[in-house]
């Protein structure tokens, strides 16, 4: 039986329905927001950690991953380490590092993450190189990062929580998505948020992106790959915006 | 439903009351009034005797004095003996903040007069302090109240629940003699009332002497149940309560007015023109007119259109809850001073704010409940013996029928029954946290207190334990229990407060009214056109068309927290504005309309009677104008020609096609709330049978299911849609992924303190913007199951408070004995027309997310292919 293709290959990288990007034996995920249950508005019960660990382990097994890169915002709270975050980050690292090496990049939410990571001898890095790609979270202007060999033109980032919001009838659906922004002198791939609890930001209706890395792209230079049971290529942002978010009746 | 605890009151003689009064109070009363009013005759002696009493009477009947006279008398006696202590003797609670200052004024005036009289007589009296405390009271005033507690303390339900945990002030409310609860009719049916009822039982617990409860209510039914709601239980037995039912002492004159002869034969412009002409004539012929519409937007529209006809200098103004407080106060003052000829209001002037002299009340469109009609019409002829005059101006055929029945019922004083919410767990959560702040509790002791509140009389021990476990954060992976607001020792059966933050959390988050966060709507050239609720804004996707302030806009993009739109005149809205929350028709009134239909059906089908006879019958029995009676008969005749007349013993289902889609109209006529439950279950079942999405439109008279092409339902399938078997379970399935589930879940999550709307000064709506509600719901279900208190209450609130599960099921049970007619017709029947033109309101989904993204993918792919081909 032929296995149906559920991933999409883009510029030698694999975009998977598990919201991960795979290159050889390395998987990149972003925006886990561990501990988000505690820092929103007071505290709600812990909900996502088990599911997150399970999906990472599933991903590792499925693609034979040897190295897992968390491209920022591993945890949620900016200002300090909340008790949930300690628990969740600990649990995550303990369980996941049994099967795979973990590397963690700094996101805008990760100010105090280093304290937790250092116990496990994991460094909190600002960026890392993956082939001729540079992986960063995307919140800091890359010119401000002291990067070895600053001639890089290809980036993999998180930070945006991109999603596609559509409505059919009177129900609204939001699908997390990858973005690929490309022009001759630069290329950026944006990962969807790995956490299902954070609400995505609708790329069809929002006016601009957060990351400066995306600001000089035209809407026709940005391609969209939505995630559900598999990865769906939805064409250019400009085209998607023309169709708008109102989907005609779904035919049966 | 009479029971041992509830006793019907009696009317006492003036002399019996006077004999109880302090000589100065008696003299003051006689100098001001000739006699006691009916509510005073019923209530004052009972209060003196220390009996709980529920007073039901119309506005302007001396209710305030009926409630306060015993209390004033007691305070004067103490003041004369120099025995007034620094504590609260009388606690007055009203849900209307606006009313509180009025009440203070209404008490200060008699007290001043009594003091003047005493001074003339050389009697020295200690000063009696009156204090008002609400969420708006400033810090200085609060501190003053804590140092020197007012003897008469006026507050709101929310503030009361805070006072209960305030370390100092709670010491001053331990020997309350009179607890007065005003406007009970406005809270008994909602969670504010549930919340208040628990506060009252907590207040009861700390009393060191006997506290007398006095409840005040407008027209409401059944009074016995409201009385039990007021007084609750003690040691498992109902407390005693005397009912003073004087609600019908005020004469009323109600009539239906139809602005046109026949709604079907006139254009909407001409109906609208004649409607305003009718209003103008009514306004001109009276001194001060109060018009009630049912929605805020209609209020603005009516004022605008009346001004156009009456001239811009005509003194007419709007009054509704979206207007700022200052504007509302200004309008109220102008009304009181007689400066206005007309005020148009949605619901905000329904309740007891003193609005001065009104000689005519106009109800524009059905008020949907008999109680509400009486309450609104009671705003005219303020004094007791004046006739209240109400005119119901109808807007279409269904409205005409509905208002004809409603008017008749109101004149015959047949009220609709209220329904008190049953043990809402979210409100309970707040109080358990509050109780834990007060002291350490044994589970049984706490359970007994909670069960003494009427809404919680049937709370099971297991339900209570589930709330304690939830609040304490007892769950498998809650190692540190950081989210616990209380500690709970399951083995020992005790619980108490946890941590220092709990008190401020309780202070800032107590209450039951959901927040409404507004989002600005701005045009592309930067003009502000208004605001929409954040929850509405969240549902919008690019390209959506919606109505705001009577204009139509297309949503283009969002900029931060703002929506950028362009005006698109005449385009059909793509998003329903069900946030406008139309008032639902009461179930009781719906049943009476069913019977009315049956009555007319029998007349029309009796061969002996002619058209004229039927008109005569209606005019005679329903006090209708000739044109209205004719319009109703014609309406029924047309329905009869085209289809069947649905009645109280004939259930009609009509099937027709609309652009190929199969439409089924169910003439259930059980009110919107029960229809909402039945329609969703029917749609869900139809979706399962046919494996498709089913669209729904619901109104008070019935509902429409719309199925895709060729998805036809057979007779037996239609019967299956309406089966009462597994109804509740199917409804829960039908609610999956609906807007109502998301919306109510958010409200319940906030009320249960799972999500704090205000946490250490953070912005209220942060969590809404950042958390994905669907994912949250899914994870909670997955981790804790559907019995998790927050989920359980969400479903209960939807099914029992927002919808009417009980009556939906009982109607379906009754349906088995009804004559079921399924008829195929070429287009919608006259009775179905209003349901049909509503358009779809919601959809019950059978397909999963995969289908949605796939069809978007295919659409995009086609577009790209087409472009490639054209190159």
If we measure between CA atoms, which residue out of B705, B716, B665 comes closest to residue B682? Answer: B705
Please tell me which of the candidates A40, A82, A173 has its beta carbon nearest to residue B771: A40
Spatial distance between the Cα atoms of B528 and B549, rounded to a whole number of angstroms? 12
CA distance, residue B683 to nearest chain A CA (Å): 14
Question: Which domain CATH number covers B271?
Answer: 3.40.50.300
The enclosing H or E element of B853 equals helix B849-870
What pLDDT sits at residue B1? 42
Check whether residue B54 and residue B187 sit in a common domain: yes
DSSP secondary structure letters along B709-770: TT-PPPHHHHHHHT--TTHHHHHHHHHTT-HHHHHHHHHHHHHTTSS-SSSTT--TTHHHHH
Cα(B379)–Cα(B289) distance, rounded to whole angstroms?
10
The pLDDT-based confidence of B724 (bands split at 50, 70, 90) is: very high
Q: Could you tell me the CATH number of the domain that includes residue B542? A: 2.40.240
| This prediction's pTM | 0.89
Are B87 and B149 in contact by the 8 Å Cβ rule? The answer is yes
Q: Classify residue B592: in a domain, yes or no.
A: no
Residue at which a domain ends, from B245, B279, B313: B245
In a domain, B189, yes or no: yes
**What is the C-alpha separation between A89 and B768, in angstroms, rounded?**
24
CB pair distance less than 8 Å for B478 and A87: no
More confident site: A198 or B607:
A198
Chain segment A195-251, per-residue pLDDT in tens: 998 888 899 988 888 898 998 899 999 999 999 999 999 999 999 888 876 666 544
Quick check: B839 pLDDT over 80? no
Cβ of residue B557 closer than 8 Å to a chain A Cβ: yes
Mean pLDDT of B328-346: 88
The mean per-residue pLDDT over the stretch B227-233 comes to 97
Give the residue from B223, B124, B207 showing the smallest Cα distance to B171.
B207
B2 band by pLDDT with thresholds 50, 70 and 90: very low
Please give the pLDDT value at position A252.
34
Provide the β-strand partners of residue B822: B653
Cβ contact, residue pair B843, A171, below 8 Å? yes
Residue B512 class from Cβ within 10 Å (0-12 exposed, 13-18 middle, 19+ buried)?
buried
pLDDT of residue B160: 97
Task: Tell me whether residues B762 and A41 touch, CB distance under 8 A.
Answer: yes
Confidence check: pLDDT of A154 > 90: yes
Q: Pick the closest to residue B44 from B5, B26, B71 (CA basis).
A: B71
Whether residues B436 and B544 fall in one domain: no
Cβ atoms of residues B345 and B90 within 8 Å: no
- Kindly indicate whether the ipTM for this predicted assembly is greater than 0.90, answering yes or no: no
**What is the distance between the alpha carbons of residues A14 and B857, in angstroms, rounded to a whole number?**
19
* Range in A151-165, B443-457, B641-655 the model is least confident about: A151-165
- Any domain includes B82: yes
Confidence of residue B455 (pLDDT cuts 50, 70, 90): very high
Mean pLDDT of B172-199: 96
Output the pLDDT for position A3.
47
Which domains does chain A possess?
A: 8-136+151-246 (3.60.21)
My answer on whether B38 and B187 are in the same domain is: yes
Q: What percent of chain B clears pLDDT 90, i.e. is strictly above it? A: 59
The two counts, helices (H) then strands (E), for chain B are 33, 30
Write down which residue in B509, B529, B545 finishes a domain.
B509
Residues of A in contact with B755 (CB under 8 A): 40-42, 44
Which residues from A are below 8 Å from B841, CB to CB? Answer: 170
Domain end residue (candidates: B245, B262, B285): B245
Nearest CA in chain B to A36: B771
Do B143 and B201 lie in one domain? The reply is yes
Q: How many CB atoms lie within 10 A of CB B221?
A: 20
Q: In which band, very low, low, confident or very high, does the pLDDT at B760 lie, cut at 50, 70 and 90?
A: low
Has residue B368 got a pLDDT over 80?
Answer: yes
Indicate whether B204 and B268 sit together in one domain. no
Cβ-contact B673, B584 below 8 angstroms: yes
Tokens 């089924």: give the residue.
B664
Contact assignment for B483 to A250 by CB distance below 8 Å: no
Taking 80 as the threshold, does the pLDDT of residue A49 lie above it?
yes
B261 within 8 A of B288, measured Cβ to Cβ: no
Percent of chain A with pLDDT over 90: 55
Count up the domains in chain B and report the number: 5
Domain match, B264 and B356 both? yes
Q: Are residues B671 and B817 in the same domain?
A: yes
Same domain assignment for residues B351 and B457: no
pLDDT number for residue B499: 81
Residues of B in contact with A246 (CB under 8 A): 541-544, 574
Q: What is the Cα–Cα distance from A137 to A127, expressed in whole angstroms?
A: 8
Asked if residues B178 and B70 have their Cβ atoms less than 8 Å apart, the reply is yes
Residues of A in contact with B697 (CB under 8 A): none
- The pLDDT score that the predictor gives to residue A167 is 78
> What is residue B848's predicted lDDT score, i.e. its pLDDT?
67
How close A146 gets to chain B, by Cα (Å)?
A: 31
Per-residue pLDDT for B343 more than 60? Answer: yes
In a domain, B619, yes or no: no
Contact B840 A169 (CB under 8 A): yes
> DSSP code of A11?
T
Question: Choosing among B474, B543, B683, B844, which should be mutated to test the A contact, i.e. which has the most A CBs within 10 A?
Answer: B543
pLDDT at B321: 72
d(CA B413, CA B652): 30
What pLDDT digit, counting tens, does each position of B235-271 carry? Answer: 889 999 999 998 776 788 999 999 988 888 888 889 8
Chain A interface test: which of B537, B542, B564, B774 (most A C-beta within 10 Å): B542
Prior bond of B222 cis (ω within 30°): yes
Residues B120 and B90 in one domain: yes
| Tens digits of residue pLDDT in B563-606 | 899 998 777 777 765 444 568 899 999 999 999 999 999 999 88
List the single best residue of B500, B540, B541, B578 to mutate versus A (max A Cβ within 10 A): B541
B chain contacts of residue A234, beta-carbon cutoff 8 Å:
856-857, 860
* pLDDT band at B761; cut points 50, 70, 90: low
| One domain for residues B753 and B823 | yes
Residues B502 and B524 in one domain: no
pLDDT computed for residue A1 by the predictor: 39
Sign, Cα dihedral of B524, B526, B531, B535: positive
Residue-range definition of the domain harbouring residue B762: 650-851
pLDDT, position A95: 95
- Given a cut of 50, whether residue B868 has pLDDT beyond it is yes
Tell whether B488 and B528 lie within a shared domain. no
Q: Is the dihedral of CA B437, B443, B448, B454 positive or negative?
A: positive
Highest mean pLDDT among A5-9, B83-87, B248-252, B850-854: B83-87
């Amino acid at each position: 039986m032929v296995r149906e293709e559920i991933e999409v290959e883009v510029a030698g990288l694999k975009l998977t329905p598990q919201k991960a990007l795979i290159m050889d034996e390395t998987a990149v995920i972003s925006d886990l927001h561990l501990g988000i249950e505690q820092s929103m508005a007071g505290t709600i019960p812990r909900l996502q950690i088990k599911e997150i660990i399970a999906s990472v382990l599933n991903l590792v097994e499925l693609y034979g991953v040897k190295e897992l890169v968390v491209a920022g915002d591993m945890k949620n709270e900016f200002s300090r380490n909340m008790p949930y975050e300690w628990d969740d980050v600990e649990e995550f690292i303990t369980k996941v590092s049994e099967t795979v090496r973990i590397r963690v990049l700094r996101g805008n939410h990760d100010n105090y993450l280093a304290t937790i990571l250092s116990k496990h001898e994991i460094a909190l890095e600002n960026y890392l190189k993956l082939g001729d790609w540079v992986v960063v979270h995307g919140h800091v202007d890359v010119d401000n990062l002291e990067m070895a060999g600053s001639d890089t033109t290809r980036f993999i980032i998180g930070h945006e929580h991109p999603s596609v919001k559509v409505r059919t009838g009177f129900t609204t659906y939001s699908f997390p998505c990858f973005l690929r922004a490309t022009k001759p002198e630069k290329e950026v791939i944006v990962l969807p948020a790995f956490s299902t609890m954070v609400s995505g930001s609708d790329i069809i209706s929002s006016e601009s992106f957060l990351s400066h890395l995306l600001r000089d792209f035209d809407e026709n230079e940005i391609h969209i790959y939505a995630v559900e049971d598999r990865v769906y290529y939805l064409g250019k942002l400009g085209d998607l915006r023309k169709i708008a978010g109102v989907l005609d009746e779904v035919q049966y | 439903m009479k029971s041992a605890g509830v006793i019907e009151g009696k009317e006492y003689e003036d002399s019996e009351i006077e004999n109880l009064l302090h000589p100065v109070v008696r003299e003051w009363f006689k100098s001001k009034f000739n006699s006691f009013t009916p509510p005073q005759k019923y209530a004052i002696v009972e209060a003196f005797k220390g009996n709980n009493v529920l007073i039901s009477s119309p506005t302007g009947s001396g209710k305030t004095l009926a409630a306060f006279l015993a209390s004033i008398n007691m305070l004067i006696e103490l003041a004369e003996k120099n025995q007034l202590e620094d504590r609260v003797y009388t606690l007055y609670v009203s849900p209307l903040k606006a009313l509180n200052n009025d009440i203070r004024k209404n008490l200060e005036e008699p007290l001043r007069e009594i003091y003047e009289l005493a001074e003339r007589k050389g009697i020295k009296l200690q000063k009696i302090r009156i204090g008002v405390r609400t969420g708006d009271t400033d810090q200085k005033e609060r501190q003053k109240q804590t140092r020197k507690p007012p003897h008469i303390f006026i507050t709101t339900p929310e503030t009361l629940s805070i006072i209960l945990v305030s370390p100092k002030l709670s010491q001053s409310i331990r020997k309350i003699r009179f607890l007065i609860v005003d406007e009970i009719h406005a809270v008994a049916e909602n969670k504010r009332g549930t919340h208040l009822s628990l506060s009252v039982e907590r207040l009861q617990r700390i009393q060191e002497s006997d506290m007398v409860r006095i409840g005040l209510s407008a027209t409401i039914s059944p009074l016995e149940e409201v009385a039990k709601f007021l007084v609750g239980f003690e040691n498992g037995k109902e407390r005693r309560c005397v009912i003073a039912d004087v609600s019908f002492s005020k004469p009323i004159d109600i009539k239906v007015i139809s602005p046109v002869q026949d709604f079907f034969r006139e254009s909407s412009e001409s109906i609208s023109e004649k409607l305003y002409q009718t209003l103008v004539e009514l306004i001109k012929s009276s001194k001060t007119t109060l018009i009630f519409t049912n929605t805020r937007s209609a209020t603005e529209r009516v004022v605008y259109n009346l001004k156009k006809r009456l001239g811009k200098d005509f003194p007419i103004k709007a009054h509704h809850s979206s207007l700022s407080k200052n504007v509302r106060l200004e309008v109220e003052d102008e009304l009181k001073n007689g400066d206005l000829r007309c005020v148009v209001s949605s619901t905000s002037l329904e309740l007891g704010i003193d609005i001065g002299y009104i000689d005519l009340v106009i109800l524009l469109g059905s008020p949907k409940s008999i109680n509400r009609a009486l309450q609104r019409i009671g705003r005219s002829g303020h004094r007791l013996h004046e006739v209240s005059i109400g005119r119901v101006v109808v807007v279409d055929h269904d409205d005409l029928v509905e208002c004809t029945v409603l008017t008749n019922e109101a004149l015959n004083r047949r009220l609709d029954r209220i329904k008190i919410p049953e043990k809402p767990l979210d409100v309970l959560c707040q109080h358990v946290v509050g109780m834990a702040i007060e002291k350490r509790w044994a589970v049984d002791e706490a359970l007994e207190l909670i069960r003494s509140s009427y809404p919680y009389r049937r709370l099971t021990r297991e339900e209570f334990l589930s709330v304690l476990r939830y609040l304490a954060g007892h769950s498998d992976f809650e190692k540190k229990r950081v989210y616990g607001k209380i500690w709970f020792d399951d083995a020992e059966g005790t619980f108490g407060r946890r941590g220092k933050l709990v008190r401020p959390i309780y202070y800032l988050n107590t209450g039951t009214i959901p927040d409404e966060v507004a989002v600005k709507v701005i045009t592309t050239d930067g003009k502000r056109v208004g605001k929409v609720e954040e929850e509405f804004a969240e549902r919008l996707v690019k390209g959506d068309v919606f109505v705001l302030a009577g204009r139509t806009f297309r949503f283009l993009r969002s900029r931060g927290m703002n929506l950028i739109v362009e005006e698109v005149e005449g385009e059909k809205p793509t998003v329903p504005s069900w946030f406008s929350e139309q008032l639902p028709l009461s179930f009781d009134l719906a049943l009476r309309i069913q019977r009315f239909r049956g009555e007319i059906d029998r007349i029309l089908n009796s061969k002996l009677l002619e058209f004229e006879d039927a008109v005569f019958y209606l005019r005679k029995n329903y006090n209708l104008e000739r044109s209205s009676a004719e319009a109703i008969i014609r309406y029924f005749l047309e329905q009869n020609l085209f289809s069947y007349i649905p009645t109280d013993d004939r259930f009609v289902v009509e099937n027709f096609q609309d652009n190929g889609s199969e439409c089924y109209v169910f003439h259930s006529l059980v009110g919107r709330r029960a229809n909402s439950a039945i329609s969703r279950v029917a749609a869900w079942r139809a979706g399962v049978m046919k494996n498709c999405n089913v669209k729904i439109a619901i109104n008070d008279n019935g509902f429409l299911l719309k199925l895709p092409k060729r998805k036809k339902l057979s007779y037996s399938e239609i019967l299956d849609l309406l089966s009462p078997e597994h109804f509740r379970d199917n409804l829960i399935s039908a609610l999956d992924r609906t807007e109502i589930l998301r919306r109510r879940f958010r409200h319940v999550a906030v009320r249960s303190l799972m999500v704090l709307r205000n946490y250490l000064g953070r912005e209220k709506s942060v969590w809404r913007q950042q958390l994905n509600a669907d994912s949250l719901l899914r994870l909670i279900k997955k981790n804790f199951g559907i019995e998790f208190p927050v989920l359980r209450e969400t479903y209960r609130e939807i099914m029992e408070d927002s919808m009417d599960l009980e009556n939906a099921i009982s109607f379906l049970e009754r349906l088995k004995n009804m004559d079921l007619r399924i008829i195929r017709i070429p287009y919608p029947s006259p009775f179905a027309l209003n349901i049909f033109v509503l358009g779809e309101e919601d959809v019950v989904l059978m397909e999963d997310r995969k289908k949605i993204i796939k069809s978007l993918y295919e659409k995009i792919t086609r577009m790209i292919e087409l472009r490639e081909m054209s190159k």
